[in-house]
Amino acid sequence: MGQTQKAILCVDDEIIILDSLKTQLRNILGTQFIIEGAESAEEALEVVAFLSTRKIDTLLIISDWLMPGMKGDELLIQIRKKHPKIAVMMLSGQADQKAIDKAKKHADLQVFMTKPWEEQELARCVKQLLAL
């Protein structure tokens, strides 16, 4: 039997940012992870469910906070309730402290990073979360 495939899911409603994040993660991690993207929290929930049916483990979700519909903190809370082993990280230029605190308390948010981000800092945080 082959090794279980592992995925990282990036969630951002701005396609330019989503593509940039996915590209940087591929540069940092190579081909050892499937890098998926979703343009909304609702789509992210569908992607995680789909990957699960394909026996692909989602190890990390990196989500924006301010998106149409469900906000990033609500997404991460839902993810952690259904999938407590998935690491969660928020990447936002506009998250308020209340949202960050809520995600830390209810979704066990491990990392909050502001946009624009430094690629080396992103690499350090992602590798740290994947090592947990």
* DSSP string covering 41-80: HHHHHHHHHHHHHTTEEEEEEEE-S--SSS-HHHHHHHHH
CATH number of domain containing 118: 3.40.50.2300
Instruction: Provide, rounded to the nearest whole percent, the portion of the chain with pLDDT above 70.
Output: 98
Range of the domain at 53: 5-131
CA distances from 73 to 17, 24, 47, 98 (A): 18, 23, 17, 10
| Domain count along the chain | 1
pLDDT-based confidence at 3, cuts 50/70/90?
A: confident
Task: Write the pLDDT tens digit of every residue in 99-116.
Answer: 889 889 988 999 999 999
CA distances from 130 to 2, 10, 15, 68 (A): 20, 14, 24, 28
pLDDT-based confidence at 87, cuts 50/70/90?
A: very high
pLDDT-based confidence at 20, cuts 50/70/90?
A: very high
